[in-house]
Chains A and B, each alone.
Chain A
Amino acid sequence: MTNSWRNPLYLWDVKDAVEELPTIDYVSPQEVWDRTRSSDAVMLPVGRLRYYYKWSGHGAALWNRLRYWPTRRRVLNIRGEYNPKTLRSEKTIVDKRPIWWLLGLLALALAPLFVPADLQNTLLTAGATFGIYAAINLCWMLIIGTAGIYSLATYAVVGVSAFGTAYLSIQYGIPWYGLPFIGAMIGLLSGLIIAIPATRLDGFYYALLTLGLNELCRVYAQQSRLFGSSTGGLYGADSYIPQSWDQHSQSLLAYYACFVLMIMALCLYRLINGRRIGRILRMAPEKREAFAEATGVDYRRARIFVFVISSIGLGFIGGFYTAHFRGVAFSIFSFDTVLLGLAMLVIGGLGRAEGAVVGTAIVILLDKILISMGPVRLLLIGVIMLGVVLFLREGLFGVKAQFRAWRDKKKSERRSTRAVKGGEMLPEEVTETKNKDLSYWRRYDKMQRDYLRTLISSELIEEHQRSPLGQHSEPLERLLLYFRRAPMADKYAIAVVEPFKAYRIVALSGHRGVAPRVVEDRIYGSQNEAYHGVFLRRVQDLLES
């Protein structure tokens, strides 16, 4: 030790004072401070805020809203606000989906103009099929997504209606414009029949039952001579496509007719899902029906209502199907049709109209465009379906939300790695502690202890042994000040066993009326020895903490 401490009281003839004592070099507390405040956790420049374009809004027009007639709803959900920093009026489009819908439908309406001539026939036929299947899937989405009934008999309803109307058209010569309406009646009837078990059965029991009903329809239609078991289907029904037109005009008319059908299905979806009945059913999701019932929602009735309405829609589509294809084949009842339909729904995401439409588009494209690949294309669709089910929670349209959830999880994981233990609070503890001063105090205390630990040396302990009371060197003085300021609970004290002869170290309880506890059996012969014993214990505790 090169450093030494000169006792300023020595000159005043204080008892037992020595002139100079060896002591340690000066240690700066700055170093501990800097070390505690620095963090080696990576701070990634990933923001939490979502980016919205801010449209400028005229002050008077900020609260002006375009609403459409029978309802008080807005065309676009626009939020008007004053920027708190610049005080300018701003408009934010909160929900951009109507814009995307409009652009997408416009693209579909204009698509025939831009189709290359050599692919025209294939693409227009595929487009017409897409329109019909999208309409079916939208109705199915109402049943699965809105009503929460896992029915797999959708194509069965469409098929029954298509076979019925085809039979009537062939036998009684009903014109094409009557077919969708007769189909809707058949759809209503079959919907009512299928709905009976849905009143009692749980989700998956019902799914399995309807799978069986689908198979029942297939087997019955295939065995029945009435429905053309020998020709593989019923053909020869009246069609809305005039035979006298040329090929291109025919496919163009078919394309736009199916497009209109899809728009009608979208309107039905919007009418049911977006209005009162949809709200009611959104309150009663799977496994929370009891709560909905307790709040007075008659969810069973609402579910059956949606189911029957969708079945009418499906019947209508079935009649249109007959009028479109001039008949119907058994393949509409086949298990693969159900599987492909389910693939369409799942790939897009259950419970959204855009999921049904885009999923249908993807599967139809793969199915019709890659038709030269044979069974491999179905294999591809199956692999996509499996991948979507295994990795995506809500299909393609849930990717955004799922990615955000994943990023938030990663962020919170990273945040928790920044926890430095040892007297300081963990981030979770801080959020749960009401007194935020406490966390700062803990941090300060930890720094102080870290610093004081560097001061302890044998010279210091020797100095304290020489004189436990009185003036001390600077490091020892700091240490003793810290020890004396400790809270009363578990603070060491000296108990007199016999005055001037026997002392013992105890620990205070910190509570009035509760006696201190004895820490050790050792008896100290003098007060100073006991003081030093307490000091050693405290140093020990400091080094161990």
Chain B
Amino acid sequence: MDFGFILINALVLACIYGTLAIGISITWSSVGLINLSYGFIFAASGYGAWLCAQYISTFGAVVLMAGILTGALMGLLVCALAFIPIHDKPSFTVRGMIATLAINLIGTQTLMWYFGPRAKSLPEIFGSWKIHLGHIVLTADKIGNIVASIVVVTLVLQWMRSSRRGLEIRAMMMNPHAAAIVGIGVRSTGFYVMAITGGLAGLAAVLLSQTYYISPFGGLTPMIKGVSIALCGGLGSVRGAAIAAVLLGLNEAITSVALGGQYVLITQFAFIILILLVRPRGIAGILDKAREA
């Protein structure tokens, strides 16, 4: 086992899953929805990118954009179906979670029905060059994945920090009731948040499809990884999610070297449970105050 190789792999996966986890975190803390339909959004954006590559253009940036746009569109759809009708009804959190699960079931079955169970693969959007760094080989897709996810997430966070809409979203994250009182529209902000987090999921889908194939149920594992990172980092904290992504990536690398690949999930959940037993609100419980349900 080459430790450097595994470390780079873990870093790449941490970047991609971290993107998804930040989306989950932002959704929960701003609109109070536990979105478990990311599996569907993820798979749908993969198929969107695939359709684009088939019929429009195989140019990398175009395919990436198609994936992000499909993800954002699916985010809007989930918002319109699961957030808008019930966000002011009793026991919204449970019902919202179940509604997103139902959307996940419907969506993945529709994809399965329409596209069939055969996996699809995307063209290599970052080209096929490689860099030798000492004895470690860095392929184009790895560098591309790391750079693209970090750039996009940084852009989104910067936008959230500097723009009017971002201010609204951050206000919702701090205190949704107070935000509503000072005139921030809960529904319109919900649409913005869901579109952005859907777009992040779409980005993750296209980046991950450089390593894995696109299939109707392929979104499940990334969603579970994203959820566990968000959980470990503390729902609602971007910094916590980033730290958790790196920690879990390291854990994955160390476990596969020391114990073997099949024990990765076991050590990962043992690690998460340990963190949550000490800090029930995740790493963010140390960093800042997380939103109370």
| B79 interface contact, C-beta 8 A | no
Are B99 and A389 touching (Cβ within 8 A)?
A: yes
- Contacting residues of chain A (195-250) with chain B, CB-CB under 8 angstroms: 196-197, 200-205, 207-209, 211-213, 215-216, 219-220, 223-224
Interface residue stretch chosen among A43-51, A316-324, A370-378: A370-378
Are B227 and A204 touching (Cβ within 8 A)?
A: no
Are A385 and B224 touching (Cβ within 8 A)?
A: no
Are A209 and B109 touching (Cβ within 8 A)?
A: no
Interface size on B, residues (CB 8 A): 48
Task: Point out the residues of chain A lying under 8 angstroms from B235, CB to CB.
Answer: 204-205
| A281 interface contact, C-beta 8 A | no
B80 to chain A, nearest CB (A): 11
Are A343 and B102 touching (Cβ within 8 A)?
A: yes
Measured CA separation A201–B81 after assembly (Å):
29
| A379 interface contact, C-beta 8 A | yes
B277 to chain A, nearest CB (A): 6
Most buried by A among B98, B99, B221, B280: B98
- Contacting residues of chain B (233-262) with chain A, CB-CB under 8 angstroms: 235, 261-262
Measured CA separation A335–B42 after assembly (Å):
15
Measured CA separation A335–B38 after assembly (Å):
13
Q: A374-B113, A379-B110, A390-B85 are in contact. Are A207 and B102 (CB under 8 A)?
A: no
Are A382 and B265 touching (Cβ within 8 A)?
A: no
Interface residue stretch chosen among B178-186, B195-203, B266-274: B266-274
| B133 interface contact, C-beta 8 A | no
Q: A220-B262, A389-B86 are in contact. Are A208 and B98 (CB under 8 A)?
A: no
Are A335 and B220 touching (Cβ within 8 A)?
A: yes
Interface residue stretch chosen among B89-97, B124-132, B134-142: B89-97
Nearest opposing residue in chain B for A207, CB measure: B97
Measured CA separation A335–B266 after assembly (Å):
18
Nearest opposing residue in chain B for A206, CB measure: B276
Task: Point out the residues of chain A lying under 8 angstroms from B112, CB to CB.
Answer: 375
Q: A223-B262, A339-B105 are in contact. Are A205 and B280 (CB under 8 A)?
A: yes
Task: Point out the residues of chain B lying under 8 angstroms from A219, CB to CB.
Answer: 262, 265
A288 to chain B, nearest CB (A): 13
| B1 interface contact, C-beta 8 A | no
Task: Point out the residues of chain A lying under 8 angstroms from B217, CB to CB.
Answer: 335
- Contacting residues of chain A (172-214) with chain B, CB-CB under 8 angstroms: 196-197, 200-205, 207-209, 211-213
Other-chain contact of B98, A335, A342, A375 (Cβ < 8 Å)? A342
| B31 interface contact, C-beta 8 A | no
Are A212 and B228 touching (Cβ within 8 A)?
A: yes
Q: Which residues of B contact A (CB under 8 A)?
A: 34, 36, 39, 81-82, 85-86, 89-91, 93-95, 97-99, 101-106, 109-110, 112-113, 217, 220-221, 224, 227-228, 230-231, 235, 261-262, 265-266, 269, 272-273, 276-277, 280-282, 293
Q: Can you list 11 A-B contacts with CB-CB less than 8 angstroms, sorted by A residue number?
A: A208-B231, A211-B224, A219-B262, A220-B262, A223-B261, A339-B102, A339-B104, A342-B98, A382-B105, A386-B81, A390-B86
